[in-house]
Copies of this chain bind each other. A is one copy, B any other.
Amino acid sequence: MGNLKFGRETIRLEEAQARVLRFVRRMEKERVPLTEAAGRRLAEEIRADHPVPHFRRSGVDGYALHAEDTAGASGRTPVRFEVTETIPCGVMPQHSLGRGQAARIMTGAVVPEGADAVVMLEMTDRLERDERTEESDAAASVGVLRAMMPGENISPIGQEVAEGETLLPGGRKIGPGEAAILATFGYSHVPVFKKPKVAIFSTGFELLPVEASLRPGLIRNSNSYMLACQVTDAGGEPTIMPALPDDPGKVQSALAEALEWADVLITTGGVSVGDKDVLVELFAQWDGELHFNKIEMRPGSPTSFGCWQGKPLFALSGNPGASYVGFELLARPYLRAALGSSDPLPQISSACLDADYRKGSAYPRYVRGTSRVEQGMVKVKPAGRDQSSIMISIKDADCLILIPAGGQGAQAGALVTTISLMEK
């Protein structure tokens, strides 16, 4: 690619994202206990191997009966039924119902043969159930105070889920609703994609380890911990590596060593003119493939991406804001795709800008934003000072606001495109 530092080809973010997704390596599968599957992504499509419900289920507590037999029933003219048995949940009925017969039945229990409706307890003259006399229910009779329609208060087989129905696509993230489905269909262990192992490197001689005391001119490394949190949230397994040395040969060895176990490499810093530029120097001499090193975006235009030994290297800008945004727009989509998501790019939305944003830019700008909803309308404003060097306001961002390129910025009240920072 010639002079990588000054002869960079500038591409649009959408093109950069497309190039990243072209090199995704899908993770291998593993099976984990359902109790440990929260937040993981399914490695297989889940289909219903049985209908739900798989028996005719009573939707209420009452009496199962034949609807026709209730014709004309009312509070003044109850129709009497002979009670054949009591059917608790989880117990199969003993008897088919004949005409004029009813069975005491609980919510969720199996409706007996011969019944095509369940009348609620409240619509009978046996309003109060007494546990101690339940045994005698079978011998008793009940008066029904309302005429019933066939099918009333019965969930037919397959009402909720038909046999063979696709329940969850591969790549779906497992939350409470997914866990309920997996449990219903007997997945005590769940096929999920292995967590991508992500090695996180920093560059820069000004960086101290987090446990070190502050010294003049030096700051503690915060990018690596921020990125580790982002990686975890995206379903990866981060490892914070020692800072990279200032020697392209040694950088190459450090990365090569990590490649032995890591699925993804992320570096911060060393990509722009004026930095120590170790990544730029690496890209000039390595035997990997550099897929881009300049994007039409602020912050993080020198964000670079390459593949080495088939594995991706995201070289993010060193500024905290630029690293943060670079991860969200490029590395997170990679991780999501590697974990099987069919929709790995960030979720695009829109909002009403709540404050002027007066800073023009030659490139589209992705401003960290804080949103709120007022009368159904999403209002968004920059989250504190959003200079890319400012770390303190990253915590307040729940979206990125896209400010189009140009000299004007955007005015309060304008409808703007936003990018959600919530993991789907």
Chain A interfacial positions (CB closer than 8 Å to B) = 6, 34-35, 38-39, 50, 52-55, 59-62, 88-92, 106-110, 121, 128-129, 131, 155, 160-161, 167-168, 174-188, 204-207, 209-214, 216-230, 232-233, 238, 240, 272-277, 318, 320, 324, 349-352, 373-378, 385, 389-397, 415, 422
Contacts and interface: CB of A to CB of B under 8 A. Distances in A.
Given A378-B378, A392-B52, A225 B182 contact: yes
Nearest to A353: B376
A176 B393 CA distance: 11
23 contacts: A35-B225, A35-B228, A52-B392, A53-B219, A59-B389, A89-B217, A90-B205, A91-B217, A92-B216, A106-B274, A108-B219, A109-B217, A110-B217, A129-B273, A129-B274, A160-B390, A160-B391, A167-B392, A175-B229, A177-B394, A177-B395, A178-B395, A181-B391
A129 B352 CA distance: 43
A320 B52 CA distance: 13
B106 A275 contact: yes
Given A38-B232, A182-B225, A183-B222, A415 B276 contact: no
Contacts of A179: 222, 225-226, 228-229
Nearest to A93: B217
B174 A392 contact: no
Nearest to A49: B214
A184 B55 contact: no
Given A222-B184, A275-B106, A391-B181, A176 B375 contact: no
Contacts of A275: 61, 106-107
A225 B34 contact: yes
Contacts of A352: 376
Contacts of A38: 228-229, 232-233
A121 B35 contact: no
A370 to B, nearest CB: 11
Contacts of A385: 160
Copies per assembly: 2
A376 B414 CA distance: 10
Contact of A108 (B204, B220, B324, B351): B204
Nearest to A349: B373
Nearest to A91: B217
Given A176-B226, A349-B373, 14 more contacts: A54-B214, A61-B272, A61-B273, A61-B275, A89-B204, A89-B217, A90-B217, A161-B392, A174-B229, A178-B229, A178-B395, A183-B226, A351-B376, A377-B377
A99 B385 CA distance: 34
Contacts of A274: 60-62, 106-107, 121, 129
Nearest to A385: B160
Given A176-B227, A376-B352, A377-B377, A206 B109 contact: yes
Given A220-B184, A373-B351, A155 B389 contact: yes
Lowest 8 CB-CB distances: which A-B pairs, in order?
A61-B274, A177-B395, A90-B206, A177-B394, A89-B206, A90-B205, A180-B226, A183-B225
A207 B91 CA distance: 11
A90 B233 contact: no
Contacts of A392: 52, 160-161, 167, 181
B222 A395 contact: no
Contacts of A177: 226, 324, 391, 393-397
A206 B108 contact: yes
Nearest to A232: B38
